[in-house]
Amino acid sequence: MTEYFLLEMRAITKRFPGVVALEGVDFDLKPGEVHVLVGENGAGKSTLMKILSGAYQPDAGEVRLDGRVVRVGSPRAAIALGIGTIYQEFTLLPPFSVAENIFLGREPSGRRWLGVVDFDRMLREARAVLDLLGLPIDPAMPAGALSVAQQQLVEVAKAISTKARLLIFDEPTAALADREVRHLFGLIRRLRDQGVGVVYISHRLGEIPDIGDRVTVLRDGRRIGTWPARDLDMGGLVRAMAGREIREVQHRSRLRGAEVLGVRGLVRRGVLDDVDLTVHEGEVVGLAGLVGSGRTELARAIVGADPLDGGVVRIAGEEIRRPSCRLSVRRGLGLLPEDRKLHGLVLVAPVRENISLASLSRLHRWGWLRRGEERRLAATQVAHLRIRTPDVERRVRFLSGGNQQKVVLAKWLCSRARALIFDEPTRGIDVGAKAEIYDLIESLADGGAGILVISSDLPELLRLCDRILVMRRGRIVGEVGRDEATQEKILAYAFGAPAASAPAGTA
Question: What percentage of the chain exceeds 90 in pLDDT?
Answer: 46
7-242 and 258-332+418-497 agree in CATH topology: yes
DSSP 3-state of 310: strand
Which CATH fold topology does 7-242 show?
Rossmann fold (3.40.50)
Is 282 a residue whose pLDDT tops 60? yes
* Res. 112 pLDDT band, cuts 50 70 90: low
Averaged pLDDT for residues 53-77: 93
Give residue 147's pLDDT: 76
Nearest to 476 by CA among 310, 309, 277: 277
Residue 135 has what pLDDT?
79
Q: What ranges make up the beta strands (E) of 281-399?
A: 284-289, 310-315, 318-320, 333-336, 364-365, 368-369
Spatial neighbors of 84 by CB under 8 A, at least 6 apart, are: 78, 159, 160, 162, 164, 166, 167, 168
CA 345 to each of CA 91, 180, 196, 234, 342: distance values in angstroms, whole numbers, following the listed order: 17, 28, 36, 33, 7
Per-residue confidence (pLDDT) for residue 73, from 0 to 100: 92
The pLDDT score that the predictor gives to residue 246 is 63
Q: What is the mean pLDDT of the chain?
A: 87
Give me the mean pLDDT over the 218-247 stretch: 83
pLDDT digits 0-9 by tens, 362-420: 888 887 888 888 999 999 999 988 888 889 999 998 887 778 888 998 999 888 889 99
pLDDT of the residue at 36: 95
The answer to whether residue 500 scores a pLDDT higher than 70 is: no
Q: Please return the burial class of 237, using the count of CB atoms within 10 Å of its CB with bins 0-12, 13-18 and 19+.
A: buried
Cβ atoms of 319 and 477 within 8 Å: the answer is no
pLDDT digits (tens, 9 = 90+) for 187-216: 889 889 989 999 999 888 888 888 999 999
Q: Give the residue-averaged pLDDT of 262-270.
A: 93
Question: What residue segments make up the domains of the chain, in order of their start?
Answer: 7-242, 258-332+418-497, 346-416
Which of 52-66, 345-359, 407-421, 423-437 is the least confident region? 423-437
Q: Which band of pLDDT confidence, cut at 50, 70 and 90, is reported for residue 117?
A: confident
Between residues 385 and 249, which one has the greater pLDDT? 385
Residue 152 has pLDDT above 90, yes or no: no
Question: What mean pLDDT comes out for the span 291-297?
Answer: 87
Closest CA to 237 of 212, 260, 259, 269: 212
pTM: 0.67
**Third-level CATH fold of 258-332+418-497:** Rossmann fold (3.40.50)
